[in-house]
Amino acid sequence: MRIFSAIRFLPSIACLITISLASLIQAQESWRDLYQPQVFDGMPCRIMTPLTVDANKDYPVIVSLHGAGGKGNNNKKQLKDWNHQLADEQRRKDFPCYVVAPQADELWNSGHLRKIKGVINTLTSVDMSRIYILGHSMGGHGTYIFTQIDPEFFAAAAPSAGSGLRRSEPFINPEKIKDLPIWAFHGDKDGVCPIEKDQAVFDEMKRLGGNMKLTIWQGDNHGVSGKFIPGAKNSITYTSSERCNSEPDFLTWLFAQSK
């Protein structure tokens, strides 16, 4: 009889487990809703605003560029692990800003930059002296591309594994961006975008007396996009000159930069 009684409750237990799992998944995904969807001039985009917007204050903007895995037009796939980290409530309190996360279906180019500038122009209370840009892989590539197109538009840049695929031709001219505060990140075992290309950029920045920090994730491959905001113990950071801000925390460093 006891066995049959236990069996009788199994469907209820299974139902409770299913509900609990569904609630957990929903809670884990709810951060995405903080990024409101819109389409600007045909470009899908998600925008997270500051927790509160004070009309008497101006807020910096983080432009977030996805990698190849975010390509498309569904206005969903471009939100990555660093977007999740930026959506953390305490980080939003400590570092109030807009986060603009556009989506592209091809490599980032000047047309995308023009539209991103248009999106920023629609936002209220923006500090135009503190426009930041970051991204991983194809997004890091786009970060280097955009900053070379218009280095005066940005106050700082953070490309992660962004110096190109093994087969990519050199496309970064350090002379164009030597005066822009840059903090680059790369795994030293990256088999997709070899670190040697970022190292070459950094070496040239040193020769030019540029403003670049390079953090190397020791023993890591290409999947390091979740590390540059919280940091990690397997990192070693180099600076190209005395111009570099030595602040070890990424967001503190980023928000200290201004044109």
The model's pLDDT over 55-96, given as tens digits with 9 standing for 90+, comes to 999 999 999 999 999 999 999 999 999 999 999 999 999 999
SS3 206: helix
How does pLDDT run across 162-183, given as a tens digit for each residue?
A: 999 999 999 999 999 999 999 9
So what's the pLDDT on residue 22?
39
Nearest Cα to 98, choosing from 122, 71, 78, 69?
A: 122
Name the more confident of 73 and 18.
Answer: 73
Q: What's residue 20's pLDDT?
A: 38
Q: Which pair of tokens denotes residue 170? A: 């050199």
Q: Which CATH architecture is the domain 37-255 placed in?
A: 3-Layer(aba) Sandwich (3.40)
Q: pLDDT per residue over 207-224, tens digit each? A: 999 999 999 999 999 999
Contact 239, 256 (CB under 8 A): no
Q: Which residues contact 115 (CB under 8 A, 6 or more apart)?
A: 40, 41, 42, 43, 102
Q: What element of type H or E holds 2?
A: helix 2-29
Predicted confidence (pLDDT) at residue 18 exceeds the cutoff of 90: no
**Residue of 163, 228, 239 whose CA lies nearest to 206:** 239
Q: β-strands 59-65, 98-102: how paired?
A: parallel
- How large is the average pLDDT for residues 141-155? 98
Query: At 8, is the pLDDT very low, low, confident or very high (cuts 50, 70, 90)?
Result: low
- pLDDT, position 1: 52
Q: In this predicted structure, what is the pLDDT of residue 13?
A: 44
Q: Considering the entire predicted model, what is its pTM? A: 0.89
Q: Does the pLDDT at position 248 exceed 70?
A: yes
Per residue in 78-98, is it b (16+ CB within 10 Å) or e — as a string?
A: bbbebbbbbbeeeebeebbbb
Residue 109 has pLDDT above 50, yes or no: yes
**pLDDT greater than 90 at residue 7:** no
Instruction: Using pLDDT thresholds of 50, 70 and 90, give the confidence band for residue 15.
Output: very low
How far apart CA 45 and CA 103 sit, in angstroms, is: 6
Q: Tell me: the pLDDT tens digits for 21-38?
A: 333 344 455 999 999 999
Phi (first) and psi of residue 91, to 5 degrees? -65, -40
Q: Where are the domains of the chain?
A: 1-34, 37-255
